[in-house]
A and B are shown apart, each in its own frame.
Chain A
Amino acid sequence: MELAIEFNAVTKRYPLYHHIGSGIKELIFNPKRALTLLSGRSYLAIEDISFQVHKGESVALIGRNGAGKSTSLGLVAGVIKPTSGHVSTYGRVASMLELGGGFHPELTGRENIKLNATLLGLRRRELKDRIDKMIEFSELGEFIDEPIRVYSSGMLAKLGFSVITQVDPDILIIDEVLAVGDFAFQKKCIETINQFKSKGVTILFVSHNLSDIQKVCDKVIWIENHRMRAMGSADEILNQYRSSM
């Protein structure tokens, strides 16, 4: 089977930049300490994680807050580089933006859709054809031309998801976005995700809602304390996860 995502012994450390927050002052008055901080301190986000995801699979990442899920997603999306090890992705990656992320509060829903879709790789022509479908999907009605600072969190989630529906990625990253929409909308989203699946799109899904995971994913990766604890079929791992709580 064709590979979509491959993690090979991936470790990611973040230098603790807030130590140099005081910047030049620190450098001048306390150069020795500043330099050791610059070189030394770091935070280990994920350590030695290896896994493979094949094309068309849908995989969930589970684990407690701070376990390293978002770092893993960032590595797949390509916004950060691993400290050691190797991450390979095959095809176009699109990540569904977090609530409010990528959206500018002063701009209207329509303007935000344009910005967001372009960042996800849509050309102007494609956008023109698809923007009506996005707006229809979002169910926002006349709110679409209001600045999004007046939106409720549910409306923001709808706006964010509506953009994804019209993008055609090979790998789709969905990070904790279904939580706030109303029940009917959540159902619609799950349907959309399943449509992506049937088109052969690889899906990487993060959620704390285990029943959503069961609905969408065939495989689960369990990350605990920055390391991979288990990977396997959704039912099996979710049962282990539940009993460990």
Chain B
Amino acid sequence: MKFNLGYLIDLISVITEKELKVRYKSSFLGYLWSIANPLLFAMIYYFIFKLIMRVQIPNYTIFIITGLFPWQWFASSTTNSLYSFIANAQIIKKTVFPRSVIPFSNVMMECLHFICTIPVIIVFLLVYDMQPHWNWIFGIPLIGIAQLIFSYGVALFLSTLNLFFRDLERFITLGIMLMFYCTPILYAGNMIPEKYQWLINYNPLADMVLSWRELFMNGNILYEKIFSFYGVSFIVLIIGSLVFNKLKYRFAEIL
């Protein structure tokens, strides 16, 4: 069956809306959590790394949140979409609609959360006597779209495989934590010893985090990093789609 674009957009917005409502239905603070959650994380890291371990990075709060907020978009959309097909088993078994909409809505929802945190970044910048830059208008969509493609590719790939090998979710949780520490979020790229520079040279997430941070803190667009991130994103999306398309007809059987 063919689906036209208008219908797809309707479907994505309805499912994204549903995911948002389900998530915050019975919580008292509701949508506030989308800001509170990353902010609390930032506070914890600030306490440990700045106050206890005394990392010598100027403006460390901004340094952390400009890396952490985009990271959380990626990390949450990956972990959430792992369960997304399982959580929607009923509608997958009964109705025909493009199943890829489900992980996509997950990525979109986390993207919305990320957009909600941008004002928080602005507030902190102003507190530290820094200013948002005009380059943001062009830079945020530029990196954002790349990250959308990357996250969607990863989500598609992992959520499909997780249906067939449920063990995967254990590895993913560990894997994301590993990647978190291998990506310069809490530390600066140049703090890594020469010997381990490959950790960020070959890590697309490092490109992602470093370009966000440079954009937010200094208003610079690191074209080279962003374009290599785009390259990796498209490759990930292609692999994800291949795996998904190969296995999508089995979803209704296995759920």
Chain A contacts to B: CB under 8 angstroms: 14-15, 17, 20-21, 23-25, 74, 77-81, 92-93, 95, 97-98, 100-104, 106-107, 111, 114-115, 118-121, 123-124, 147
Contacts and interface: CB of A to CB of B under 8 A. Distances in A.
B107 to A, nearest CB: 19
A23, A77, A103, A104: residue with the most chain B Cβ atoms closer than 10 Å: A104
B14 A115 contact: yes
A33 B253 CA distance: 22
Given A81-B249, A101-B94, 6 more contacts: A17-B253, A95-B95, A101-B93, A102-B95, A106-B25, A147-B25
Contacts of B94: 77, 79, 95, 97-98, 101-102
A126 B18 CA distance: 19
B31 to A, nearest CB: 15
A79 B93 contact: yes
Contacts of B1: 78, 92
A124 B13 CA distance: 10
A25 B170 CA distance: 13
Given A98-B94, A115-B14, A80 B253 contact: yes
Contacts of A111: 18, 21
* Top 10 A-B pairs, shortest CB-CB distance: A79-B252, A101-B90, A23-B167, A118-B14, A106-B25, A102-B91, A24-B167, A78-B96, A81-B249, A119-B95
B95 A107 contact: no
Contacts of B97: 119
Contacts of A17: 164, 253-254
B91 A106 contact: no
Given A23-B167, A101-B90, A102-B91, A115 B18 contact: yes
17 contacts: A17-B164, A23-B165, A80-B249, A81-B249, A97-B94, A97-B95, A100-B90, A102-B95, A103-B90, A104-B22, A106-B25, A107-B22, A114-B14, A118-B10, A118-B14, A120-B95, A124-B10
Given A21-B166, A95-B95, A123-B7, A106 B26 contact: yes
A111 B25 CA distance: 12
Interface string B122-133: 000000000000
Interface in B1-48: 1, 6-7, 10-11, 13-15, 18, 21-22, 25-26
Contacts of B254: 17
Interface residues of B, number: 29
Contacts of A102: 90-91, 94-95
Interface of B: 1, 6-7, 10-11, 13-15, 18, 21-22, 25-26, 90-97, 164-167, 249, 252-254
A128 to B, nearest CB: 11
Given A74-B252, A118-B14, A79 B96 contact: yes
A6 B98 CA distance: 23
Given A77-B94, A79-B96, A114-B14, A25 B7 contact: no
Nearest to B9: A124
A77 B10 CA distance: 21
Contacts of A81: 249
A92 to B, nearest CB: 8
Contacts of A25: 167
Given A80-B253, A102-B91, A115 B22 contact: no
